[in-house]
Structure 1
């Protein structure tokens, strides 16, 4: 999990380079980009509406081209069942320029806005109908059955970092399923529910996705309580508790690195309620 800071690149030259590359991709794919620029994590991605599509540009240094996140959208399109409400991928365009690699993804435009913008952290209570929650649960259930060799959460991270961030010995991940990998409010629309940005999908502990969504909701206790009600069968199970602990630990690492400071206190309190021990201070 990365610190989701949705801002333009710090350097103006990098910002201008990304804007030019996005415009070049639009010309090559013969679409007209318009509307606001939507930056992803630390300016690594740039999205914009393009006619009836959404055009998203990814950039990486040449030596870091490819890999888990780079291929995520394309592999999700191929592997995940269409019963999951998500934008369909229509075209992928790859090229290199100088020391950078680029990938442009032309996907279906989703007219319903994400429930949060600019940050994955929930800033206000959301009152979503029962049908929305049922559709989300069905989408996650459909994803969970998808066979894949992609791994989104590894035991190695638990062994290395668990004690540092949670203050307890590492747990063992014994039950896994396929999931989204970054289930937060900027990746959910509604109603109706659509799950956006599948770049990090793969195998993960049971309960991890729901644990991530709950953790990003701790700033809004009513919504956090609703999540625990809707997913009590997962979160209250032994396997789901492991997945939630891993999700909380990874998000504590994000906070430790300076991301989402507003989550620091509620996340530490929640972690202590799960483990029964105080969370180590960074």
Structure 2
């Protein structure tokens, strides 16, 4: 994601009242959980979440209108902590706090602080090839294999999304998702640390098409050809199957939906080209290579 786009989505709320409300809520959560927050603020998508380091932990809050709390952003990090096996490297949850102020509900999550830096910071995509040890790739393969065995009825990707959107974004008739697995659903380079591997941000995990996670990671690597080739080589047993190609197509279609909103402008033509290579059909919308400044 280009810097201009990152600044538009992963920033503090533009309205001063919203900014101060989230800061007060974060401070209140820190007090209740008996930690002292420090370090820079890290805002989530369009200012919906706020996180800061709190000693050896990370304290994140999310807010929603009273009566509308719940769903992935609200609950799925906590459910990952209880359902996903410890063999999958991830931050452990230390505490959860829920409360409601007038018209607004809050959830605070206190997790282990991860000192190992993510592969990328602030953007899900690579801008150049990276060198990771063979052990890192083995750890990723093992982690995804262990995650695939987790039983859950949580759906991260639904057939009805495919039915509504494939023709619009891929120019082909919807395909049927016939093989699913349990996955992360947001597997990109800002959610993977350098060695040793830790997988971050578990708010989207659940059932998804086989090949979806890996198709997403591969798409976010298209500006780094050697790394993209490494992914295809390491995970050929998934990506080169019929089920894997279906999952990759779903991932590409969802990314093209984001591209249609001005996200990932540098990656856009590469994602479109990869989709066309799989479908042998031009994508129906002429996505711009860059968002106008």
Instruction: Give the shorter-chain TM-score range.
Output: over 0.9
Q: CA deviation at 1:15?
A: 1.7
Q: CA deviation at 1:99?
A: 2.1
**Structure 2: gaps spanning 5 or more residues:** 287-293
What is the match of residue 205 of structure 2?
201
Q: How does 1:39-118 map to 2 (within 5 A)?
A: 39-118=43-122
Aligned residues: 280
SS, match of residue 71 in structure 1: helix
Q: CA deviation at 1:223?
A: 1.3
Counterpart check, 1:145 vs 2:152: no
2:222 to 205, 218, 223: 218
Confirm or deny: 8 A CA contact 1:176 1:206 kept in the other structure: yes
SS, match of residue 67 in structure 2: helix
Q: CA deviation at 1:12?
A: 2.5
Cα shift readout 1:17-40 (whole Å, capped 9, x = no counterpart): 111111111111000111111111
1:245 to 249, 258, 264: 249
Cα shift readout 1:51-85 (whole Å, capped 9, x = no counterpart): 11110111122232012331101110110101000
Cα shift readout 1:160-186 (whole Å, capped 9, x = no counterpart): 001100011111000000000100111
What is the match of residue 161 of structure 2?
157
Provide the C-alpha distance between the structure 2 equivalents of 1:165 and 1:9, rounded to a whole number of angstroms: 30
Provide the C-alpha distance between the structure 2 equivalents of 1:254 and 1:10, rounded to a whole number of angstroms: 22
What is the match of residue 17 of structure 2?
13
1:125 to 109, 126, 129: 129
Confirm or deny: 8 A CA contact 1:32 1:51 kept in the other structure: yes
Provide the C-alpha distance between the structure 1 equivalents of 2:266 and 2:20, rounded to a whole number of angstroms: 31
What is the match of residue 27 of structure 1?
31
- Which aligned runs of 4 or more in structure 1 are off by greater than 4 angstroms? none
**TM, length-normalised to structure 2:** 0.93
Higher mean displacement: 104-113 or 8-17: 8-17
Provide the C-alpha distance between the structure 2 equivalents of 1:102 and 1:48, rounded to a whole number of angstroms: 16
Counterpart check, 1:262 vs 2:266: yes
**Structure 1: gaps spanning 5 or more residues:** none
Counterpart check, 1:185 vs 2:159: no
**TM, length-normalised to structure 1:** 0.96
